[in-house]
Amino acid sequence: MTSASPTQPRRRLGRLVLLVAVAAAMAGCKTTGDTTAAVRPPDDYRLRHPIVVQEKDHTIALMVGNARGGLSPAQRADVTAFAGEWKRDTAGGIVVDLPVRTPNARAASDTLREVQAVLVAAGVPAAGIRVQSYTPPDSGRMAPIKISYPRMTADAGPCGQWPDDLGPSYHPAYLENRQYYNLGCATQRNLAAVVDNPADLVQPRGETPAYTNRRTTVLTKYGKGESSATVDPNADKGKISEVGK
Domain that holds residue 74: 54-152
> Taking Cα atoms as reference points, which of 182, 178, 152, 166 lies closest to residue 49?
182
Predicted TM-score of the model (pTM): 0.60
pLDDT at 36: 44
Quote the longest CA-to-CA distance of the chain.
Answer: 138
50, 209, 216, 226, 233 from 222: Cα distances, Å: 46, 21, 10, 6, 21
Q: What would the pLDDT profile of 99-145 be if each residue is shown by its tens digit? A: 999 999 999 999 999 999 999 999 999 999 999 999 998 878 889 99
Q: Other CB atoms closer than 10 Å to residue 92's CB: what's the count?
A: 13
DSSP state of 199: G
Quick check: is 145 in a domain?
Answer: yes
Please report, for the domain that includes residue 64, its CATH number: 3.30.1330.60
* Interatomic CA distance for residues 164 and 169, integer angstroms: 10
Quick check: is 136 in a domain?
Answer: yes
Quick check: is 231 in a domain?
Answer: no
Beta-carbon contacts of 166 under 8 Å, excluding residues fewer than 6 positions away, are 174, 180
Number of domains the chain contains: 1
Beta-carbon contacts of 129 under 8 Å, excluding residues fewer than 6 positions away, are 93, 94, 96, 116, 119, 120
pLDDT at 5: 57
Quick check: is 111 in a domain?
Answer: yes
Quick check: is 40 in a domain?
Answer: no
Of the chain, the end-to-end C-alpha distance in Å amounts to 136
pLDDT at 163: 85
Quick check: is 60 in a domain?
Answer: yes
pLDDT at 172: 72
Using 70 as the pLDDT threshold, list the residues of the chain that sit under it.
1-39, 235, 238-239, 244-245
pLDDT at 25: 61
pLDDT at 176: 81
Question: Please, are residues 198 and 154 in contact by the beta-carbon 8 Å criterion?
Answer: yes
pLDDT at 98: 95
pLDDT at 78: 96
Quick check: is 225 in a domain?
Answer: no
Quick check: is 1 in a domain?
Answer: no
Q: Give SS3 for 235.
A: helix
Q: What is the H or E stretch that residue 121 is in? A: helix 105-121
